Amino acid sequence: MSCVFYYRDRAMARTLNGYLFLVLAIILLSVGPTEQLQSSQAETLRRIQYLLDNPPVLSGWKDGTDFCNTEPNSSLTIVCYEESVTQLIIIGENGAPALPQNFSMDSFVTTLVKLPNLKVLTLVSLGLWGPLSGKIARLSSLEIFNVSSNFLYGALPHELSFLKSLQTLILDKNMFSGPLPDWTGKLLNLTVLSLRQNSFNGSLPDALNNLESLRVLSLSHNHFSDEVPDLSSLRNLQVLDLEDNAFEGQFPKLDNRLVTLILSKNKFRSGIPSELSSYYQLEHLDISFNSFVGPFLHSLLVLPTIIYLNIAGNKLTGMLSENQSCNDELTFVDLSSNLLTGSLPDCLSDSKKRDVSYAKNCLAAEDQDQQPLSFCRNEALAVGIVPGQKKRKQATKTVLALGIVGGTLGGILLVGLIFLAIRRTNARKPKKSPPTRLITENASTGSGYTSKLFTDARYISQSMKLGALGLPPYRTYSLEEIEEATGNFDTSAFISEGSHGQMYRGQLKNGSLLAIKCLKIKKSQSIQHFMHHIELISKLRHRHVVSALGHCFECYWDDSSVSRIFLVFEYVPNGTLRSWISGRRGRQSLTWSQRIGATIGLAKGIQFLHTGIVPGLYSNNLKITDILVDQNLVAKISSYSLPLLAEMVKEGSKMPSGGSKEIIARTNQDKTDIYDFGVILLEIISGRPFKSNSEVDVVKDQLQSSMMGDDTTRRSSVDSSVRRACSDQSLRTMMEICVRCLNKEPTDRPSIEDVLWNLQFAAQVQDAWRGDSQSSEGSPTSPSRQPSLHLSIG
């Protein structure tokens, strides 16, 4: 029992060991050395040995073993009092496998409760498996219960709440799941609650606040989510470890006597509260790998007891300076991957004394990899914007990239700094690298800025959530990155020019490809004006939509209005959907199944544009040439009606207002996308490209009449390259939905959900049919419905 707790922090170990030894001492003091065990309890211990499948640690237990008088050691301890076992500690071999199939946790617990005076029960690494039986509550004296490193699963039995004397509950490294129940708040004497490495989920109950004795709350490596409830009433809490969960929202509210605080690998996305400067006992602070934003608290470096400080992998801003001081005891500091600027404090540069990392910031330091200053400025922009209000007189038209870095001193003074980098505008045909100037400006201070910063931070995290697409998270790009990626907008990178601006292909340093839309802004507008557009664009991320990866603003120097916006999208390499239908030279056309698959993708993309984002995007003017296909033949919509583009067209005229009129108009517009979808579907079925609406009408009428005919008639109107390889049922379904989509009366067109349902039905019958026809192929006795089918099936 010497190394009782996992926590390495000295004060922690001190307090906890001290505490535990006190408990044990009380128990031990009352133990006489020549205790004789009741025979029924000796029987029970041997039964336990049998149920545990005779583990090596119990190999010394023989018939006639005097259990109460064996020498305790680190893996086996039995303590008796008045002929009863009061402590049973069995620690098996690390990594012990699960007990055999015929083990039953329920009967094991039934046996255990025959030791009714147990106060300490530790059963670690013994291969216990199954749900924890509620019968355990019959051990009503239990004070310490430790079943770490087993294979227990299921929810916590509510009977645990009857264990009123329970002080230490350790269930680490099992497979428990479900929420941490409200009744946890009834275990009023609980001092240690450790549930590390399980599969608990849901939010933490507010009732945790009742646990006034709690010193250690360790919930790391679970799936807990939502905000952490206010825990500031836990006045004895010394260790809070929430590492690797899915907690989000604000920094937890805690008592300032905390010693160890670990929040790393969650989804917190607030600022760091200045109260943290008052945590006078804090030794270990780890908030790494979250989305914390706003100013880094310099005061953390000088907390009186701080030893370990890790803020890596956040978006903390601020300017460090050489003469910043640090606590002498500080031995580990990791500041890497934030948005810090300035220079590394001298007190951190002594590498012998401390382990210090600060790579991937924008510090003036050579020995650890740093980003260009513009990177931090641009990233900071993404989480908060201070409008460049003061106009500056400057004759030449220059461009400014705007960024902010805020910093606080001692949690009292909040100083925002705006960096204005000036570049010349000739990005289109740059010859020589323009001179860069840096101006540091004192921003207006105050909490107004701070709260704005947090609101803006929200959308970034929101879009990061959708990162499951295998795409990098949405972010701001620096102008340098855009220029480098496009070779200074070289003509070889040029893809197309539309009414709103040019499209370029770009390649990042690591080889990943981008599509960059370059929008020239004619009317003088501040960055702020565009932020709500950017917010919407950042949400445009879906498997069947060419997804947004980021943006970059380029501004005029003289009034800091926006000159150009670059929208960065994923690059979709394999051409338009049309090129896969009309069988261009050198390219196979899609099979019937693949065609159905592409239309399902397209419909899902439309559904996302209508309902997956708020406000939805309607009337997207969908054309088959704007549907792109990636290397896995996934169809992606590349044209959508961004309000930003609409606004640019209407530039000069009034901004559209989001009034109710518009909303009514939109519900009808909904059906224009359905019509456009019908046109695309018609081309996919017939294999014929259309040049005009009247052509569409003609082919639609042909399709409609052949639909009524027999199997052969129907097939005659289908693209010859798939004609033989489609099931009649799937063909009929596709034709039907196509004709309905092309209805002249918008209200008679089907909803996108209806469309999707029909397409999926068509895919299913096609699949079943394909399976059928293939399995019957080799069998001479089965009727060969379509003898030559297999020729055209991939």
Largest CA-CA distance found in the chain, in angstroms, rounded: 104
Q: Per-residue contact track with ligand NAG, 381 to 420, x per CB under 6 A?
A: ----------------------------------------
Q: Which residues contact 703 (CB under 8 A, 6 or more apart)?
A: 682, 685, 686, 717, 735, 738, 739
DSSP H or E stretch at residue 383: helix 373-383
By the rule CB under 6 A, 236 interacts with ligand NAG: no
* Residues 402, 381 contacting (CB under 8 angstroms): yes
- What minimum distance in Å lies between the beta carbon of 573 and ligand NAG? 4
Q: Candidates 87, 161, 168, 238: give the one binding ligand NAG (CB under 6 A).
A: 168
Beta bridge partners of 174: none
Binders in 491-530 for ligand NAG, by CB under 6 A: 508, 510, 512
First and final CA of the chain: distance in angstroms? 66
From CA 421, how far away is CA 3, in angstroms rounded?
56
Q: Which is nearer to ligand NAG, 551 or 671 (CB)?
A: 551
From CA 539, how far away is CA 558, in angstroms rounded?
32
* The two structure tokens encoding residue 201: 């989920």
DSSP 515: E
- What minimum distance in Å lies between the beta carbon of 148 and ligand NAG? 3
- What minimum distance in Å lies between the beta carbon of 56 and ligand NAG? 7
Q: Candidates 79, 88, 112, 144: give the one binding ligand NAG (CB under 6 A).
A: 144
Q: Candidates 30, 54, 69, 74: give the one binding ligand NAG (CB under 6 A).
A: 74
Q: Which is nearer to ligand NAG, 632 or 781 (CB)?
A: 632
Q: Which is nearer to ligand NAG, 46 or 520 (CB)?
A: 46
Q: Which is nearer to ligand NAG, 124 or 272 (CB)?
A: 124
Q: Which is nearer to ligand NAG, 287 or 421 (CB)?
A: 421
* Residues 489, 428 contacting (CB under 8 angstroms): yes
Q: Which is nearer to ligand NAG, 190 or 742 (CB)?
A: 190
Stretch that binds ligand NAG, among 66-74, 341-349, 351-359, 387-395 (CB under 6 A): 66-74
Q: Which is nearer to ligand NAG, 37 or 51 (CB)?
A: 51
Binders in 712-731 for ligand NAG, by CB under 6 A: none
- What minimum distance in Å lies between the beta carbon of 232 and ligand NAG? 22
Q: Candidates 323, 442, 447, 788: give the one binding ligand NAG (CB under 6 A).
A: 442
By the rule CB under 6 A, 95 interacts with ligand NAG: no
From CA 6, how far away is CA 192, in angstroms rounded?
12
* The two structure tokens encoding residue 304: 């009186």
- What minimum distance in Å lies between the beta carbon of 492 and ligand NAG? 15
Binders in 193-232 for ligand NAG, by CB under 6 A: 201-202
Q: Which is nearer to ligand NAG, 573 or 709 (CB)?
A: 573
Q: Which is nearer to ligand NAG, 164 or 785 (CB)?
A: 164
DSSP states of 336-382 as a string? -SSEEEE---GGG--TTT-EEE--SSEES-SSS----HHHHHHHHHH
Stretch that binds ligand NAG, among 26-34, 276-284, 438-446, 752-760 (CB under 6 A): 438-446
Stretch that binds ligand NAG, among 170-178, 315-323, 403-411, 533-541 (CB under 6 A): 170-178
* Residues 445, 437 contacting (CB under 8 angstroms): no
Stretch that binds ligand NAG, among 266-274, 394-402, 435-443, 735-743 (CB under 6 A): 435-443
- What minimum distance in Å lies between the beta carbon of 476 and ligand NAG? 12
Closest residue by Cα to residue 126 from 85, 76, 166: 76
Decide: helix, strand or coil at residue 435.
Answer: coil
By the rule CB under 6 A, 164 interacts with ligand NAG: yes
* Residues 368, 356 contacting (CB under 8 angstroms): no
Q: Which is nearer to ligand NAG, 474 or 489 (CB)?
A: 474
**Three-state secondary structure string covering 67-121:** HHHCCCECCEEEEEECCEEEEEEEECCCCCCCCCCCCCHHHHHHHHCCCCCCCEE
From CA 615, how far away is CA 611, in angstroms rounded?
8
From CA 114, how far away is CA 110, in angstroms rounded?
7
By the rule CB under 6 A, 177 interacts with ligand NAG: yes
Q: Candidates 70, 278, 702, 775: give the one binding ligand NAG (CB under 6 A).
A: 70
Stretch that binds ligand NAG, among 73-81, 402-410, 449-457, 637-645 (CB under 6 A): 73-81
* The two structure tokens encoding residue 212: 């006034």
**Tally of helices (H runs) and strands (E runs) in the chain:** 16, 35
- What minimum distance in Å lies between the beta carbon of 637 and ligand NAG? 18
Q: Candidates 34, 59, 351, 389: give the one binding ligand NAG (CB under 6 A).
A: 59
Burial call 411-437: b when 16+ CB within 10 Å, e when fewer: beebebbbbbbbbbbebeeeeeeeeee
Q: Per-residue contact track with ligand NAG, 446 to 485, x per CB under 6 A?
A: --------------------------x-------------
Q: Which is nearer to ligand NAG, 50 or 280 (CB)?
A: 50
By the rule CB under 6 A, 124 interacts with ligand NAG: yes
* Residues 277, 302 contacting (CB under 8 angstroms): no
DSSP states of 624-689 as a string? GGGEEE-TT--EEE-----HHHHHHHTTTSPPPP--HHHHHHHHHHHHHHHHHHHHHHHHHHH---
* The two structure tokens encoding residue 146: 């430790």
Q: What angle do CA 680, 684, 689 make, to 5 degrees?
A: 70
Q: Candidates 148, 238, 336, 591: give the one binding ligand NAG (CB under 6 A).
A: 148
From CA 298, how far away is CA 277, in angstroms rounded?
9
Tokens 């039905």 map to which residue?
Answer: 761
Q: Which is nearer to ligand NAG, 30 or 621 (CB)?
A: 30
Q: Candidates 80, 156, 170, 443: give the one binding ligand NAG (CB under 6 A).
A: 170
Count of residues that bind ligand NAG according to CB under 6 A: 39
Q: What angle do CA 517, 522, 523 make, to 5 degrees?
A: 125
- What minimum distance in Å lies between the beta carbon of 543 and ligand NAG? 17
By the rule CB under 6 A, 122 interacts with ligand NAG: yes
- What minimum distance in Å lies between the beta carbon of 512 and ligand NAG? 4
By the rule CB under 6 A, 149 interacts with ligand NAG: yes
Bridge pairing between strands 398-409 and 548-556 = antiparallel
Q: Candidates 73, 667, 668, 775: give the one binding ligand NAG (CB under 6 A).
A: 73
Q: Which residues contact 227 (CB under 8 A, 6 or more apart)?
A: 203, 247, 248, 249, 250
Backbone Cα Rg of the chain:
34
Q: Candidates 305, 574, 579, 792: give the one binding ligand NAG (CB under 6 A).
A: 574
From CA 127, how far away is CA 52, in angstroms rounded?
8
- What minimum distance in Å lies between the beta carbon of 346 and ligand NAG? 23
From CA 155, how far away is CA 201, in angstroms rounded?
10
Q: Which is nearer to ligand NAG, 21 or 103 (CB)?
A: 103
Tokens 């910093």 map to which residue?
Answer: 407
Binders in 616-635 for ligand NAG, by CB under 6 A: 631
By the rule CB under 6 A, 75 interacts with ligand NAG: yes
Closest residue by Cα to residue 208 from 178, 236, 187: 187
The CB density around residue 760, as the number of other CB atoms within 10 Å, is 13
By the rule CB under 6 A, 146 interacts with ligand NAG: yes
Q: Candidates 18, 33, 64, 100: give the one binding ligand NAG (CB under 6 A).
A: 100
Cα 630 from chain centroid?
Answer: 24
Q: Which is nearer to ligand NAG, 631 or 781 (CB)?
A: 631
* Residues near ligand NAG (CB under 6 A): 4, 51, 57, 59-60, 70, 73-76, 100, 102-103, 122, 124, 144, 146, 148-149, 164-165, 168, 170, 172, 177, 188-189, 201-202, 440-442, 472, 508, 510, 512, 573-574, 631
